[in-house]
Each structure stands twice: as structure tokens, then as C-alpha cells.
Structure 1
Amino acid sequence: MNQSAGRYLILAGIVVMLLGILVYFLHDKLDWIGKLPGDIRVEKENFRLYFPITTLVLFSLLLNLIIFLIRRFFS
């Protein structure tokens, strides 16, 4: 492994740690995740379907923005 791969691993660990701290302390404030307009939720007596389309798109955009910023400022 080279030095830049180690730098990315450290940065990824810091991001995961910060996300964990955020979820730990703000779990009651983050109940909107998965309940956005556009998320498909079907609940019947013996069947449950949950497909969070809008939440997935939102997280994808956020992750792409983070990766873009990391590449721009740390490369």
C-alpha cells in the first residue's frame, strides 16, 4: 500500500466515527430518515415492503459531494 491509500483509510475512519457519534447523540432527531416523500412503504397483515427511493437518492448525492470534496482538497 502507498501513503495516499493510508490517508484515505484514515479519513474514511474519521467520517464513519463522526457519523456514529451523530447517530448516537441525535437518534431522536433523525426519525425523518426513511420517511421522506417518495419512499415506498407497504404494510399489510403478513407482508411488509419498504423501499426508500428518495432517501437513497439523497444519501447518494451527499456521499458524492463528500467524495468530490475529499478528492478536490486532499489530492
Structure 2
Amino acid sequence: MTEIILKDNVEQSKIDALLAFLKSSDIDVELRTVSSKKSTKTTKFSLSKGIWSDYSINSEELRDKAWKR
């Protein structure tokens, strides 16, 4: 099985034209529409990872300095 995934919202007329083209070439086509799931999971901001691990600053101080600019 080969899948073709259209990631952007495509006009229905263009989808119909693509299906007609594939069917005219004797390619078995099935159209499935799946709604994309957006992640609502939030993760805690951690200074222990990455470039801030060697500095003695907490996340609140970092946020305060960043938002005062």
C-alpha cells in the first residue's frame, strides 16, 4: 500500500481532479479525511537541560529578564 498525504487544506475541486486522474490510470483510489490532533499537553520549563544547566538562575528569574526587554 502506498499513501499520499495532503497536509494543507486543498480545494475539493482539486481533490476531485486528482482522484479522476488516478482512476483514469487504473489506480485504485480511496479518499479518507482525518482531522489533525493538536497537542494540548504542556511541559514544565526546565533550566536543568541545555545551555542553562551551568548557570545559577531559576526559571522565574529568566522569564522576568526576558519579558522586561
Q: Same fold (TM over 0.5)?
A: no
Higher-strand-fraction structure = 1
TM-score (norm 2): 0.30
In our comparison, the structure showing a higher alpha carbon Rg is: 2
